[in-house]
């Protein structure tokens, strides 16, 4: 949609819609200026889809100006652009996201983001408190970029999903990122159930508090006493904590996040080194399994996206080729028609020329005969005159 008037008409038609989709519309940085104005003036838009365009640094800076003023946007899809080609684009976008309080989903897949852009992302994650899903797959973050991003995640407690497939951040960094995300999910699960005994203990335990609200920093948590899983645990002075096999039998984790946090707490509380190592190995094994699951899931999603994009591109190319073939056939037909007309015109002119040649030849012959006749008559007159004198 390089045509600005057409873009303006599309924006005007979606002025009261919560979703603005401009995917694969060939929008350049110039068009993003108009989209930014739309964001500044529109209090309704919640979902902005700009995937598959030609947005670069200037466009990202213009878009950041619109996001800075907008207070309704929830989801920002910018995948398949080139925002990271110049770090200034990522810097502008990350600066505005630091203080944004509404956006929860950000998709920056395949945006040529390098280690410098990753540094800006890490700084943004340190300050941002609303983004829960961040997709950075198929960028060129590299090892340094992965570490910069990891540093930001260490100080972030809201990101629950951070996709890094194909970004070359390294296996160890991926493992640490997965652990931090699991920490945030466990924290979110406990925050969502404020009346649970586990949440109360995590909030009251000074060791857990030192790690941040509901275990908000990397590392392992405290042991979760087995008896805390009972529906209503009495105060410590009224009923002592149960121990032994019966207490373990009463504990049934509700989800993987709860299980992970309990293992973290168990590992930190164990006194025996072999027990501590055992729980640590279990927690790390769960981390690896979750990481592999996330990779497979993201790989499937990326594969579907690539297939969709390839199919869309193939159909577009096929339509374009059909149109070009049709135009070529029409041009060929015009050439054939012009050739036939030229041949007919040439044949007519040839006939006319032959007629002129025949006429000219006849006239020449008549002229020669006339000249010969005149010469013969003149000779006879001379002979007659000569005979008269003699």
Give how far the C-alpha of residue 308 lies from the chain's centroid of Cα atoms, to the nearest Å. Answer: 13
> How far apart are the C-alpha atoms of 42 and 73, rounded to whole Å?
10
Tell me what pLDDT residue 264 has.
Answer: 59
Q: Identify whether 25 is part of a domain.
A: yes
48 occurs within a structural domain: yes
pLDDT digits (tens, 9 = 90+) for 134-154: 999 999 999 999 999 999 999
Above 90 in pLDDT, residue 34? yes
22 is a domain residue: yes
Tokens of 328: 């070529």
Look up residue 75 and give its two tokens. 């989801």
The DSSP bridge partners found for residue 389 are none
Residue 139 lies in a domain: yes
Mean pLDDT of 318-339: 86
Q: Is the pLDDT of residue 236 over 70?
A: no
**pLDDT score of 101:** 94
CA 41/CA 29 separation, integer angstroms: 19
| Rounded distance between C-alpha atoms, residue 210 and residue 199, angstroms | 15
- Token pair, residue 154, equals 């260490």
SS (H, E, C) the chain: CCCHHHHHHHHHHCCCCCEEECCCCCCCHHHHHHHHHHHHHCCCCCEEECCCCCCCHHHHHHHHHHHHHCCCCCEEECCCCCHHHCHHHHHHHHHHHHCCCCCCEEECCCCCCCHHHHHHHHHHHHHCCCCCEEECCCCCCHHHHHHHHHHHHHCCCCCCEEECCCCCCCHHHHHHHHHHHHHHHHHHHHHHCCCCHHHHHHHHCHHHHHCCCCCCCCCCCCCCCHHHHCCCCCCCCCCCCCCCHHHHHHCCCCCHHHHHHHHHHHHHHCCCHHHHHHHHHHHHHHHHHHHHHHHHHHHHHHHHHHHHHHHHHHHHHHHHHHHHHHHHHHHHHHHHHHHHHHHHHHHHHHHHHHHHHHHHHHHHHHHHHHHHHHHHHHHHHHHHHHHHHC
Domain of 150, CATH number, reads 3.80.10.10
CA distance 188 to 196: 13
Q: What is the average per-residue pLDDT within 229-254?
A: 39
Q: What is the pLDDT of residue 358?
A: 85
- pLDDT above 70 coverage of the chain, percent: 74
Q: Is residue 117, in this structure, part of any structural domain at all?
A: yes
Answer whether residue 330 is part of any domain.
Answer: no
Tell me which residue range forms the domain holding 111. Answer: 1-169
Inside any domain, residue 258: no
The confidence band for 385, taking pLDDT boundaries of 50, 70 and 90, is: confident
Residue 52 in this model has a pLDDT that exceeds 60: yes
User: Residue range 230-245: average pLDDT?
Assistant: 38
Hunting for tokens 């630091």 — which residue is that? 98
Band the pLDDT of 33: cuts 50, 70, 90: very high
Number of neighbours of residue 347 by Cβ within 10 angstroms: 10
The count of structural domains within the chain is 1
More confident residue, 291 or 253: 291
- Find out whether 71 and 102 touch, Cβ atoms under 8 Å: yes
- Asked if pLDDT for residue 238 goes beyond 50, the answer is no
Per-residue pLDDT, 380: 82
Residue 328 lies inside a defined structural domain of this protein: no
Residue 292 pLDDT exceeds 70: yes
At residue 5, does pLDDT exceed 60?
Answer: yes
pLDDT of residue 133: 97
Cα–Cα distance, 278 to 266 (Å, whole number): 10
The per-residue pLDDT for 280 is 66
Q: pLDDT at position 252, please?
A: 42
* The pLDDT of residue 261: 61
Stretch 344-356: mean pLDDT: 88
Residue 267 banded pLDDT, cuts 50, 70, 90:
low
Task: Check residue 202 and give its pLDDT.
Answer: 44
244 band by pLDDT with thresholds 50, 70 and 90: very low
The residue-averaged pLDDT of 347-374 equals 86
Interval 110-141: pLDDT, tens: 999 999 999 999 999 999 999 999 999 999 99
- The structure tokens 């540093």 sit at 151
Residue pair 85/112 in contact by the 8 Å Cβ criterion: yes
* Low-confidence winner among 2-6, 27-31, 34-38, 62-66 (lowest mean pLDDT): 2-6
104 φ/ψ sector (left φ>0, alpha ψ -120 to 50, else beta): alpha
The rounded mean pLDDT for the chain is 79
């Amino acid at each position: 949609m390089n045509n600005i008037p057409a873009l303006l008409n599309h924006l005007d038609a979606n002025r009261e819609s919560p979703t603005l989709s401009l995917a694969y519309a060939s929008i350049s940085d110039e068009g993003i200026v108009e989209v930014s104005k739309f964001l500044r003036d529109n209090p309704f838009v919640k979902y902005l889809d700009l995937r598959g365009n030609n947005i670069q640094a200037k466009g990202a800076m213009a878009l950041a100006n619109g996001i800075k003023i907008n207070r309704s946007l929830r989801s920002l899809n910018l995948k398949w652009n080139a925002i990271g080609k110049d770090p200034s684009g990522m810097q502008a976008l990350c600066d505005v996201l630091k203080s944004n309080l509404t956006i929860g989903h950000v998709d920056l897949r395949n945006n040529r983001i390098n280690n410098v852009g990753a540094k800006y992302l890490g700084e943004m994650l340190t300050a941002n408190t609303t983004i829960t899903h961040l997709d950075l797959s198929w960028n060129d973050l590299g090892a340094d970029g992965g570490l910069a991003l990891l540093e930001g995640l260490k100080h972030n407690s809201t990101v629950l999903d951070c996709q890094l497939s194909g970004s070359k951040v390294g296996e160890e960094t991926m493992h640490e990122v997965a652990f931090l995300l699991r920490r945030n999910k466990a924290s979110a699960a406990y925050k969502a159930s404020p009346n649970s005994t586990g949440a109360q203990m995590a909030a009251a335990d000074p060791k857990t508090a030192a790690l941040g609200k509901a275990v908000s920093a990397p590392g392992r948590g405290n042991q979760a006493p087995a008896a805390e899983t009972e529906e209503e645990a009495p105060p410590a002075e009224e009923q002592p904590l149960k121990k032994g096999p019966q207490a373990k039998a009463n504990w049934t984790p509700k989800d993987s996040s709860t299980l992970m946090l309990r293992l973290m707490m168990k590992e930190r509380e164990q006194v025996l080194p072999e027990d501590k190592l055992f729980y640590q190995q279990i927690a790390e094994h769960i981390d690896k399994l979750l990481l592999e699951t996330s990779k497979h899931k993201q790989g499937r999603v990326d594969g579907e996206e690539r297939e969709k994009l390839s199919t869309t591109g193939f159909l577009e190319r096929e339509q374009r080729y059909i149109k070009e073939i049709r135009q070529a056939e029409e041009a060929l037909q015009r050439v054939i028609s012009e050739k036939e007309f030229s041949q007919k015109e040439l044949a007519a002119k040839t006939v006319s020329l032959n007629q002129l040649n025949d006429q000219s030849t006849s006239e020449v012959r008549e002229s020669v005969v006339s000249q010969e006749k005149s010469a013969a008559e003149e000779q006879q007159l001379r002979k007659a005159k000569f005979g008269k004198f003699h």
